Amino acid sequence: MASLKTVQARYTATFVGLMALVIVLTVYGIGQFVSPRLTANDENILTAKAADISNEIKTELARVQAQARVITELVPQLSSDDIDRLLPFMVNQYGEAKVFGGGIWHLPNVRTPGRAKHSTFYHRDASGKLIVNTHWNSPESLNYFEQGWHKGGLNSPAGQCAWAPAYQDAASPEPRTNCAMAITKDGQPWGVSTIDVTLGFFNKLVEAKEQEVHGRIMIIEADGKILSNVPGSSDKIVLRNVSELAAQSPFINGIKSALAAKGTGTSRLTYQNSDGEEATLFLMPVAGTPWLLAVSQNTDLLKSQSATVLKTLAWLQIPMVLVLLILMIVALRTLMNRLSVLKVNIDTLSAGDADLTRRITVKGHDEVDQVGESVNNFIAYLQRMMLDVSSSTSEIASGIEQLRSQAGVTNAILIRHANETDQAVTAITEMSSTADEVARSAAQTASFTQSANENAQVSKTVVADASDSVNALISEVDSATSKVQSMEQDAKRINAVLAVIGEIAGQTNLLALNAAIEAARAGEQ
């Protein structure tokens, strides 16, 4: 943590962490939001390319359907002989070999009263020439009007083909289907027109499209019947079911699983191909037909656009992050150099005698220069404050000197008062001693007087005859006793006054001592 003590190190670490977080969030965001959309877009492109096959199939079938419409409109206007004569030309009007044949299949007793089976059917021979085939009119053949393709044609919407499931017979080595379209006359069902189309062109479409999408494509029916071969394979799998071949091919097994889970619209699933890689399979209907189109591509190839975008972003972001990091380091270093210069200037100001008259040199107006300007303002403020402090100190020193002089005068007065107090205390002490002596003399006098009184009483009985003269003396003695007692009371009062004076003197001494202490303190200050 010592390396992160500087602002430059902390800011650099913060920026690097922020850039790393941005990169992580970018990768996460692309993986969670952008990549799925790109993958979905790639999937849409793949299915759109595969849908080109559907469009080509629908185009070919639309031509057949248009051809069938012409036939169903024209045939009711022809006689039976004209139908037999003109039908080959109507079937071969485009001259395409994939139109294997066509027929007019009347309802019983419509074309010829009393004749249940009366149809006209032409198909191509080995040379490609249209020849008549009367098999369906023979007694041993099945009733064609009871076949599913005939009923489907009768029940189809006007002008719309009912496409039969793929089949193959001895007449053609290729599987084929047919367009069955209802024929009406005077608003009543009259029969069915069919045009047989070989499905060999499916193989060419599949082979060309597989090379374009770098994937696997197969055309099947909803029940799992295969309608196209695997390009480059000698195995004949057309008209076989995917359930028969699922164990031989992961692709076909994937189709089987997709058919089992088939809903409406396009189905999607993933599986492991023969190389152990994950592949994504789409199963989509060919609109207007009973067929389905399966297309598969390696998932890595399908997500290649996402990977390309991630690589592109990485090649764009990494240099940008490095450039930003370098710019930030250079900017931080420049800032730190300027801050170092500012620090040196501040240290210079604070070193030595701390000359407050010096200022930091400010050359610009950015934040660092503003800090220098603020430091200069602070130094100016300190200078003004120090001048104010110096002035106040002088005034305080003058005041202290005055207090010291006044304390000296006060101290002299207190000393004089202390001397006077000492003299008063001495006088009071002497008065107290005198009073004590007077009290003792009075006590002795009282004792003597008492003794004399007692002697007088004794003498009273002896000298009864001299009582008159002694009574006069007693009266004088009593008067003296009263005066002595009065002097004793006065002495007690004097003692009380002396006690009060002693207390006052003690307090005066304390006050004088306190005043002297305060004066001494004031002198020290």
Question: Phi then psi for 294, rounded to 5 degrees?
Answer: -110, 130
Question: Which residue spans within 186-263 are E strands per DSSP?
Answer: 188-198, 216-221
Higher pLDDT, 149 or 343: 149
Tell whether 341 is covered by a domain: no
Write the burial class of residue 67 (CB in 10 Å: 0-12 exposed, 13-18 middle, 19+ buried). Answer: buried
Instruction: Examine the fold and report which residue of 146, 174, 199 is the final residue of a domain before the chain moves on.
Output: 199
From CA 357, how far away is CA 349, in angstroms rounded? 9
Select the more confidently predicted residue: 253 or 450: 253
Q: Which stretch of 44-58, 166-180, 224-238, 418-432 has the lowest confidence by average pLDDT?
A: 418-432
Q: CB–CB of 226/218 below 8 Å? A: yes
Output b/e per residue, 20-41; b: 16+ Cβ within 10 A. eeeeeeeeeebeeeebeebbee
Which is higher by pLDDT, 165 or 516?
Answer: 165
Q: Taking 90 as the threshold, does the pLDDT of residue 93 lie above it?
A: no
pLDDT, average across residues 126-155: 93
- pLDDT grade, residue 507 (50/70/90)? confident
Task: Report yes or no on 147 lying in a domain.
Answer: yes
Given a cut of 70, whether residue 364 has pLDDT beyond it is yes
How many domains are there within the chain? 2
Residue 49 and residue 212 in contact, taking contact as beta carbons nearer than 8 Å: yes
pLDDT of residue 140: 92
Instruction: Report the percentage of the chain scoring pLDDT > 90.
Output: 31
Name the least confident of 17-31, 81-95, 306-320: 306-320
Mean pLDDT of 410-433: 76
Query: Once rounded to an integer, what is the mean pLDDT over residues 423-437?
Result: 73
Mean pLDDT (whole number) for 210-227: 91
Whether the full predicted model's pTM is greater than 0.85, yes or no, is no
Distance CA 214, CA 209 (A): 8
pLDDT digits (tens, 9 = 90+) for 365-413: 777 778 778 878 877 887 788 788 888 888 888 888 888 888 778 878 8
* pLDDT at 297 (0 to 100): 92
pLDDT on residue 259:
92
Does the structure show a pLDDT above 70 at 506?
Answer: no
Contact yes or no for 271/254 (Cβ under 8 A): yes
The strand pair at 176-185 and 267-272 is best described as unpaired
User: 487 in a domain, yes or no?
Assistant: yes
- DSSP reduced 3-state for 464: coil
pLDDT at 135: 92
- Evaluated on CA atoms 126, 127, 128, 134, the torsion sign reads negative
Which helix (H) or strand (E) element contains residue 511?
helix 467-524
pLDDT recorded at residue 107: 96
**Alpha-carbon span 289 to 270, nearest angstrom:** 26
Taking residues 5-26, what's their average pLDDT? 78
Provide the domain limits for residue 467: 397-524
Provide the pLDDT for residue 136.
93
Percentage of the residues of the chain whose pLDDT score is greater than 70: 82
DSSP code at position 156: S
Contact 211, 232 (CB under 8 A): no
Residue 337: predicted pLDDT? 80
Tell whether 520 is covered by a domain: yes
Strand order in the sheet with 99-106: 130-132, 119-124, 99-106, 188-198, 176-185, 162-163
- 80-84, 215-219, 426-430: which range is least confident on average? 426-430
Task: Check whether 201 has a pLDDT greater than 80.
Answer: yes
Is residue 272 included in any domain, yes or no? no
Can you name the residues that pair with 181 across neighbouring β-strands?
Answer: 193
Q: Name the domain boundary from 199, 232, 259.
A: 199
pLDDT value at 91 more than 90: yes
**Is 185 within the bounds of a domain?**
yes
**pLDDT tier for residue 332 given thresholds of 50, 70 and 90:** confident
Evaluated on CA atoms 221, 225, 230, 236, the torsion sign reads negative
Give, to the nearest 10 degrees, the angle between helix 7-29 and helix 304-350. 170
Predicted confidence at residue 144, as pLDDT, reads: 95
Read off the CATH number of the domain in which 153 is found: 3.30.450.20
Residue 75 has pLDDT above 90, yes or no: yes
Average per-residue pLDDT for the chain = 82
Tell me the per-residue pLDDT of 445-481, one tens digit each, with 9 for 90 and over.
667 667 766 765 766 666 566 556 556 666 665 666 6
Residue at token pair 């009871």? 146
Task: Return the pLDDT at 328.
Answer: 79
Boundary residue ending a domain (132, 164, 199)? 199
- What is the C-alpha R_g of the chain? 70
Instruction: Identify any residues that bridge with 182 across adjacent strands, giving them in sequence order.
Output: 192
The pLDDT value given to residue 523: 63
> What pLDDT is attached to residue 446?
67
Is it the case that residue 118 has pLDDT exceeding 70?
yes
Beta strand 119-124 pairing with 130-132: antiparallel
- Comparing 171 with 198, the larger pLDDT belongs to 198
For 28-42, 280-294, 342-356, 396-410, which range has the lowest pLDDT when averaged over its residues? 342-356
What pLDDT shows up at residue 443?
A: 72
Q: Are 219 and 293 in contact (CB under 8 A)?
A: yes
Give the 3-state secondary structure of residue 199: coil
Q: What is the pLDDT of residue 510?
A: 67
Residue 185's pLDDT is what? Answer: 93
Task: With respect to residue 333, please indicate whether it lies within any of the assigned structural domains.
Answer: no
Per the model's pLDDT, the better-predicted residue between 346 and 70 turns out to be 70
Residue 364 lies in a domain: no
